[in-house]
Amino acid sequence: MEREAVLVAIDAGTTKVTTLIGEVGRTGDVNVIGYGIAPSAGMKKGMVANIDQTVNSISSSVEKAERLSGYKISSAFVGVGGSHIGSQNSRGVVAVSGHKREVSREDVARATEAAKAVQVPSNREVLHVVPRGYIVDGQEGIKDPLGMSAVRLEVETHIVAGAATSVQNLSKCVVTSGVQIDEMVISSLAAAEATLTDTEKELGVLVADIGGGTTDIAIFVDGAVYHTAVLPVGGINVTNDVAIGLRTSLNLAEEFKIKHGTANLAEIEPEELLNVAVLGESGGQTIQRRKLCEIIEARMGEIFSLIREEVKRSGHAGMLPAGAVLTGGGARLAGVEVLARDTLEMPVRIGSPQGVGGLMDQIGNPAFSTSIGLLLWGANHIGEEPIGYGVPNGVNPLSRIAEWVRNLFPG
C-alpha cells in the first residue's frame, strides 16, 4: 500500500487510554501500524478528574504506540466523552448567491454557518456541526446540493456541544503530553464510524458504546445523525455492584464478571457454584453462580432501560428498523444481546470495528470501536476544516493536512 498519510487516534476513557497509529493509503484504506494501551488514572465518568494522572496515562499510551510503530506522534484525533455532552438539531437558511443561481461550496458553508448561529451558552463549546441533509427551494431529502439551480438553500444540522471546562481540561492533558489536536470527536460518532453500515444508518439505527464509566449513544435516521447523548453509567457500575454483592475486591469482581458472568439468566444451571475470596476473611465463600449473574443482569438491565428512555426522548421509539448496535467493552459481556433485545424491544447485534486493516487480531473487538472510529473519522474527513472549537488557542492543525492533501491531488 502506498502510504499517503499517518493519522493518530487517542481515546482517553475511564478505564483505559488507547492510542492508535494508522496509515492511510491513496485509496483511503486505513491500516493500523501501532497501538498503545495504558490503564487510565485521573479520568472519572469520561471526564478529567486529575490533570497529572491523566497526562501520565496518555503519555504512557502514546509511548507504547510509538515504540511498536517506530513513528513519532505529533498530532491526533481525540475522543471526547462525559455526560456534559449535549446535542440539538438546527436549520440554516440562505439565499443562493452568484449570477448563475447554482449552489456553490460557499453557499453550503454560509448555510451551515447560519445553522451554527443557534444560542449556545458561553460555558458550552461547539464540537460538531454535522449537516444532516439539504432542502433546495422546498425540495427535501437532498444529500449533496452542489451545482443545483436554486434560489434558496436550507441545511438541517446536528450540533453537538460540551462543557467548555471539560473540553479544555482534556485538551490541556493531551497537549501537555506533547501531542497537538487535529480534531476532537465525540465518542458515539467515532464508534458509529467503525461499527455501522450505510444501510443501517439509512433505515434508522441506534449505536450504544458501553464504556467503563459512560454509555455513549447516537441515533441515525435517513443516513445522518439525529440525536446524541451520554449516560453516566458503564461497565464500572456493574463491577462495583458485584464487589459489594459478593463482598470482594474490585479486581476480583471484574475478573468474575468477565469469566463467569452473563446478563442472560436462562443460560445458568441452578447448581453451578463458584468460590469467591471475601474481604477481611481468610478462605472464601461458595456462592451460586446465579447470584453473581443476577447482580449483573440487574445493572445491565438498568443501563438498557436508560437507553430506552433516551430513544423515547429523541422521538424515535419504535422507529428504528435496523435496531440497536452495542459496542464498547461492556458489549463483550456474555448475554447482553438477549437482555438488550428484551429491554429495548428491537433487533440487537454486537458491533465490532470494521473497515480497517493491520493489527486487527489484537484490537479487532468492540472495546476498540471508538479508537478505530477516530482513525476512520480522520481518514474520511481529511481536508475538511473542523469546526475549530475545542482546539487549544484556536489552532487548527487540520488546515495543514488540508493544504498537504491539496498539494498531493492538485486540480
pLDDT tens profile 125-152: 999 999 999 999 999 989 999 999 999 9
Average pLDDT over the chain, rounded to an integer: 90
> Rounded distance, CA 254 to CA 39, Å?
14
- Tell me the C-alpha to C-alpha distance, in Å, between residue 128 and each of 116, 117, 186, 337, 386: 10, 13, 8, 31, 8
| pLDDT (tens digit per residue) in 165-211 | 999 999 999 999 999 999 999 999 999 999 999 999 999 999 999 99
Residues 304 and 219: their CA atoms lie apart, in Å, by 15
Higher pLDDT, 175 or 389: 175
Share of the chain above pLDDT 70, in %: 91
Residues 46, 48, 53, 59, Cα dihedral to 10°: 70
DSSP letter for 326, please.
Answer: E
At residue 411, the pLDDT reads 37
Question: Cα separation of 110 and 115, whole Å?
Answer: 9
Vertex 216, ends 211 and 217: CA angle to 5°?
A: 140
pLDDT surpasses 80 at 77:
yes
In contact, 191 and 327? CB cutoff 8 Å: yes
Protein fold of 86-163: Dna Ligase; domain 1 (3.30.1490)
Distance of CA 176 to the CA centre of its chain: 23
Q: Residue 119: count other Cβ atoms within 10 Å of its Cβ.
A: 7
What residue segments make up the domains of the chain, in order of their start?
Answer: 86-163
Nearest residue to 219 via CA among 316, 318, 82:
316
Helix 164-176 and helix 51-69, axial crossing angle in degrees, nearest 10: 50
Q: Which residues sit opposite 128 in a β-bridge?
A: 160
Which amino acid belongs to residue 119?
Q
Mean pLDDT along residues 369-394: 72
Residue at 260: amino acid letter:
H
pLDDT in tens, 226-267: 999 999 999 999 999 999 999 999 999 999 999 999 999 998
Region 17-38: what's the mean pLDDT? 93
Position 139, amino acid = Q
Write down the H helix ranges in 39-79. Answer: 51-69
Predicted local confidence at residue 99, as pLDDT: 80
pLDDT confidence bin for 119, thresholds 50/70/90: confident
Query: For the whole prediction, is pTM greater than 0.75?
Result: yes
Q: What span, in angstroms and rounded, lies between the C-alpha atoms of 207 and 344?
A: 12
pLDDT at residue 386, rounded to an integer: 57
Share above pLDDT 90 across residues of the chain, in percent, rounded to a whole number = 80
